[in-house]
């Protein structure tokens, strides 16, 4: 690791396996703002993770997640319900509340749909309530399904460094989509509209 301090600039560089180099430049000349770029300081509380996996029908899975997430409780045992709190199913600005079991605990998340791209089959959610918000300042979840694959991405900022990454939640999301993909024929209306 190389650490240098020149004119209030601290640079960190680490060589990771296979020659990949990570670097960071933290400038503290104006409090919490990086003065040259007008961005917040880098910290170790933020992060993200992504998981891509195969599914058999990306169109149908996208339709279920966008327009019929209330069907999820019939298609995957980990989900007990999904309620529309505000707005309309499948529209940006709508608020939904999921009830699910993760790691043996009953949980909820309240999310607002912040973006939908029909062409890319992408939906973005901002978590605004529930148990995740007890441990994280912010959580952004993105779902995308294309070419018979699906991807969940979670970006987050922890309340403190003692909080573990939301790995089990990401695994829960992956399992739920695999169940929906596998069991969608249990709801004839879903299969007929595909």
* In the predicted structure, residue 1 carries a pLDDT above the cut 50: no
What is the C-alpha to C-alpha distance for residues 155 and 137, in angstroms, rounded to an integer? 11
Please compute the mean of the pLDDT values over residues 94-99 and round it to a whole number.
97
Pair of tokens at residue 186: 């249990």
pLDDT score recorded for residue 14: 40
pTM above 0.85, yes or no: no
With beta carbons less than 8 A apart as the criterion, state whether 145 and 157 touch.
no
Report domain extents, the chain.
2-40, 46-192
Q: Which has more confidence, 101 or 21?
A: 101
| Sequence-distant (≥ 6) Cβ neighbours of residue 192 within 8 angstroms | none
Neighbours of 86 (CB within 10 A): 10
| Sequence-distant (≥ 6) Cβ neighbours of residue 54 within 8 angstroms | 148, 149
pLDDT tens, residue by residue, 42-62: 456 899 999 999 999 999 999
Q: Which has more confidence, 73 or 154?
A: 154
* In the predicted structure, residue 179 carries a pLDDT above the cut 90: yes
What is the C-alpha to C-alpha distance for residues 122 and 158, in angstroms, rounded to an integer? 25
Pair of tokens at residue 72: 């999820």
CA quadruple 133, 171, 59, 188: dihedral positive or negative? negative
Q: Which CATH superfamily is domain 46-192 in?
A: START domain (3.30.530.20)
| Sequence-distant (≥ 6) Cβ neighbours of residue 147 within 8 angstroms | 58
pLDDT score recorded for residue 97: 97
Pair of tokens at residue 79: 């989900």
Q: What is the share, in percent, of the chain residues with pLDDT greater than 90?
A: 66
What is the C-alpha to C-alpha distance for residues 121 and 143, in angstroms, rounded to an integer? 8
Q: Which has more confidence, 49 or 26?
A: 49
For 83, the enclosing helix (H) or strand (E) is strand 79-86
């Amino acid at each position: 690791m190389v650490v240098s301090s020149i004119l209030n600039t601290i640079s960190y560089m680490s060589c990771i396996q296979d020659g990949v180099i990570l670097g960071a430049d933290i400038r503290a000349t104006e409090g919490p703002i990086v003065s040259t770029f007008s961005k917040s300081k880098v910290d170790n509380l933020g992060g993200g993770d992504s998981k891509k996996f195969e599914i058999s029908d990306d169109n149908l899975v996208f339709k279920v997640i966008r327009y019929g997430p209330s069907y999820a409780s019939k298609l995957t045992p980990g989900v007990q319900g999904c309620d529309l709190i505000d707005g309309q199913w499948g529209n940006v600005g709508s608020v939904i509340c999921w009830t699910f079991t993760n790691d043996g605990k009953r949980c909820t998340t309240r999310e607002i749909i912040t973006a939908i791209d029909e062409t890319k089959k992408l939906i973005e959610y901002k978590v605004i309530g529930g148990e995740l918000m007890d441990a994280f300042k912010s959580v952004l979840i993105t779902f995308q399904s294309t070419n018979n694959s699906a991807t969940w991405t979670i970006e987050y900022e922890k309340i403190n460094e003692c909080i573990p990454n939301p790995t089990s939640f990401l695994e829960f999301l992956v399992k739920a989509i695999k169940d929906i993909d596998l069991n969608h024929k249990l709801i004839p209306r879903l299969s007929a509209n595909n």
